[in-house]
Amino acid sequence: MHPKSAIQMDKTKYRSNNRWNMVLPREHGSWGFVLEPLFIALIIGFTWDGFLLGISAVLAFLAHQPMLNALNAGQKYKSFALTLAATLSILALAGLSVFMAQSNIVTVIPLIVALSVMVVYFFLEILGFDRKLYTRMIGASAMGLVAMSILLAAGWQLPLALGVLAVILSRAISTTIYIRARLQLQKGNNAYVKPSHWTHALILPVMVILAVNQLIPWLAALAVTILCIRAYGGLSRFRQKLTVKRIGMYEFVYGMQLVILTVAGYIAGL
């Protein structure tokens, strides 16, 4: 049996008590997956075209929650949500159009893939697959492709831009799996522990290979290594029992160390 749509399953799912909740994502961890790639790309490869793309990506991200609220027929602020979603979407599309018009095909291709990924994620969410692990990984990975377009617009060579993408995807995918494993483990379910361990075990040699071939700085590889250590420790029998909020706070710190070390590595050539 196919799952019912998210709206049919729970018409109160997107209900908010105030208009601010119509805009802000329900899951605050999504901010990290959006802003971390943009910070990295814009700091190490700033251009005004790239800045425009970054702003457009944030606007598209902000349009997501109002769109979900607008789809709920019983929503108290449905008209407001629809207007807000339409406004943010139009502004985002305008910025994307300007960027694409001024860019070559190589720069635009990652952006087109990113937009396709975002559309797939949105429809999976509507269909009620938003809690699936693959849906979470799809959504978390999209901004890495946007960051790649920003770097290509700044004149970066394709292999180097792919290296940055690899660092961003290693953070997005491994963290998504780790968080799922951590939360399930606290409920007594260890089904996701091995997938998390295998994912991080595969990521480490990839980062080393990229660093050895000078496609990423060693500090970026170190940042990903810290994420791996955190994952193994966080799923071990020595782990602390933490609230979901506290886990989210720690993940914010780990995300910031990734941004800082990666940026420092590219700037200093380390």
Spell out, as residue ranges, where the chain has pLDDT lower than 50.
Answer: 1-17
Residue 26 buriedness (CB in 10 A; 0-12 / 13-18 / 19+): exposed
CA distance 134 to 186: 21
**Looking at residue 65, what is its pLDDT?**
80
Rounded Cα distance, 75 and 79, in Å: 9
Query: pLDDT value at position 6?
Result: 42
pLDDT of residue 26: 64
pLDDT of residue 198: 93
Length of the chain: 270
Ramachandran bin of 25, using left for φ above 0, alpha for ψ from -120 to 50, beta for the remaining angles:
beta
How many whole angstroms separate alpha carbon 17 and alpha carbon 10?
A: 16
Alpha helices in the chain (DSSP H): 6-9, 20-23, 30-44, 48-70, 78-101, 105-126, 133-153, 158-186, 193-212, 218-234, 244-268
Q: What is the DSSP string of 23-82?
A: HS-S-TTHHHHHHHHHHHHHHHS--HHHHHHHHHHHHHHHHHHHHHHHT-TT-TTHHHHH
Q: What pLDDT, on the 0 to 100 scale, is given for residue 10?
A: 44
Say what the alpha-carbon torsion angle 161, 162, 167, 169 is, to the nearest 10 degrees: 120
Q: Which residue type occupies 258?
A: L
Determine the pLDDT at residue 261: 96
Q: Looking at residue 23, what is its pLDDT?
A: 64
Tokens 């159009």 correspond to 97
Q: Is 253 exposed, middle or buried (0-12, 13-18, 19+ CB in 10 A)?
A: exposed
